[in-house]
Amino acid sequence: MLRRLITNRNLTRLLVDQKLTSRLLTPSVVSTKCLSSESVNEQNFSSSVDDREIRQFRSMSDSWWIENGEFEPLHMLNLLRVPLVRDVMVNYRNSLPPNVRQTMLAYSLEGEEQKIYSNQELDREPLLGLNIIDIGCGGGLFSEPLARLGAQVTAIDACKENIIAAQLRMQTQQDKLGVDSCKFYDRLRYIHCTVEDLTAVEENYDYFDAVVCSEVVEHVNNLPEFISNSAKLLKNQGFAFYTTINRTPDSYFSTILAAEYLLNLVPKGTHSWEKFVKPEELKDILTKNEVFCKFEMGMMYNPLTRKWCWSEYKRNNYALYAQKFKTKID
């Protein structure tokens, strides 16, 4: 199943090594065009996963996408994090030098001349032309809105089940609504791999305009390595976005005692408090990797209205974004 890719240019550059491509799942997302065709072992669901498992994945993929189901807090978090990424990235693109901007906004359809996205198109899809990687995408709750807003999104997750669930969501949507009605899926692809797999290939360095890690950092074992690897993927002046939980007594009380044991908002054992990250620590590691924090804000969840809001209170959940400035330019 080959799908027309809106901008081949963006995808052709991302080369992934043999080890990685053999792990790619449905060929529907990673078209052979974007990878050297010999290296892709096209695997079908039917060959790699049995029917019962597929059914299980399907119910899982459904549960990810039920808006008031178990992932409701994450759905609602989109109201904060998507506009944040949108506004920052639109400013970023506008601040680029005109010629860089021009190449970013150029696109060509198959067999046609190169065109530049018009302002009207940019109003509709503000993130057009930007490359974003969503590390730890889960069911794609964050990746899909970004792709819908026009960005070329590469979503990776180390958990195979999550990637299958996300791809199933994409397929069922396309089957139900028709491929033409959800063209933005062409801009979105899910890959089952880790950041380390991507950084193993030097070609991937300096490729993305933005790195997005939402509610991921608190699950990572070796944080410094993780951050330094994700920073490598980032272009100079690109942005890295993080949302995570602070390691404070407050967060122990709210996310572990209250959310997991008292209110049953999230399954028990989802979080371990020791792994939570203080913003200072995160900023320290980022600075070591030449990524400098620009903004830091607390986020509050109100379990009654089930809404998130920005706040000065950072002792629980917080978001920060940072910009990469290379000191050594080669």
Partner 1 sequence: MYILAEMNDVVHVKPWYFDQDLLNVIEDELNKKFANKIIYQLGLCVALFDIKEIGNSSVLPGDGSSHTKVSFRYVIFRPFIDEILVGKVKSSSKEGIYISLSFFDDIFVPFSNLQKPCRFDEKEQLFIWQYDTGDSVHDLFIDIGEEIRFRVVNEVFLDTTPTGPPKKNDAMTITSVVHNKDEIKCPFTIIGSINEPGLGLLTLSSRASFSSTKNLQNDNQSHNCKNNDYFDIVICGGGMVGNAMAAALGQENLFKNLKIALIDTESNKEKYQNPQIHHSRVCALSSTTIDLLKSIDSWDFIQQHRFGEVHNMHVWDGSTDAFISFKKEDGSNLAWIVENNLIIASLTKNLSNFKNVKVFYSNKIEDFKQNDQAIDIKLNDDSNITTKLLIGSDGGNSFIRKKANIDVLQWNYDQVAIVATMKLANKTQNFTAWQRFLSTGPIALLPAIWSIKKNMVNNLLELNDEEFVHKVNQAFVIEDFKNEFGSGIENLVQNGIDWLRNVIPKGSDYFTDRETEVRILPPKIASSESRASYPLSFLHSNNYVSKRLALIGDSIHKIHPLAGQGVNLGFGDVICLKQCLKDNLLSGNEIGSWNFLKDYESRRQRQAFPKMVGIDALNKLYTDYEYGNSLIKTPLVTARTVGLTLSNRVIPVKNFFVKQAMR
User: Which residues contact partner 1 by CB under 8 A?
Assistant: 62, 65-68, 75-76, 78-79, 82-83, 86, 120, 123-124, 126, 144-149, 173, 176-178, 181, 307
Q: How far is the CB of 275 from partner 1 (least distance, A)?
A: 29
Residue number with CB closer to partner 1 (152 or 289): 152
Is 136 among the annotated ligand-binding positions?
A: yes
Task: Answer whether 132's CB lies under 8 Å from 142's CB.
Answer: no
Please report, in angstroms and rounded to a whole number, the separation of the first and last CA atoms in the chain: 41
Q: How far is the CB of 185 from partner 1 (least distance, A)?
A: 12
Q: Is 112 annotated as a binding residue?
A: no
Minimum distance between the CB of residue 158 and partner 1, rounded to whole angstroms?
Answer: 24
Listed residue (221, 50, 53, 58) closest to 139, CA to CA: 58
Identity of the residue, 153 or 297, whose beta carbon is nearer to partner 1 in the bound complex = 153
DSSP 8-state class, residue 182: G
Measured from the CB atom, the residue of 147 and 198 that comes closer to partner 1 is: 147
CB of 254 to partner 1, least distance (A): 22
What whole-number distance in Å separates Cα of residue 238 and Cα of residue 313?
27
Q: Does the annotation flag 86 for ligand binding?
A: no
Q: 269 a known binding residue?
A: no
Burial of 67 (0-12, 13-18, 19+ CB in 10 A): exposed
**Residue among 75 and 271 whose Cβ is closer to partner 1:** 75
Closer residue to partner 1, CB minimum distance, 174 or 254 = 174
Q: CB under 8 Å to 248, separation ≥6 — which residues? A: 278, 315, 316
Q: How far is the CB of 280 from partner 1 (least distance, A)?
A: 30
What span, in angstroms and rounded, lies between the C-alpha atoms of 136 and 194?
Answer: 9
Q: What are the two backbone dihedrals, phi and then psi, of residue 178, each rounded to the nearest 5 degrees?
A: 90, 140
Contact 170, 26 (CB under 8 A): no
Smallest separation (angstroms) from partner 1 to the CB of 78: 6
Cα gap 158→135, rounded to integer Å: 9
The reply to whether 215 sits in an annotated binding site is yes
Give the C-alpha separation, 238 to 217, whole Å.
19
Complex with partner 1: residue 82 or 223, whichever CB lies closer: 82
Annotated binding site for Mg(2+): 215, 218-219
Annotated binding site for S-adenosyl-L-methionine: 81, 136, 157, 214
Annotated binding site: 81, 136, 157, 214-215, 218-219
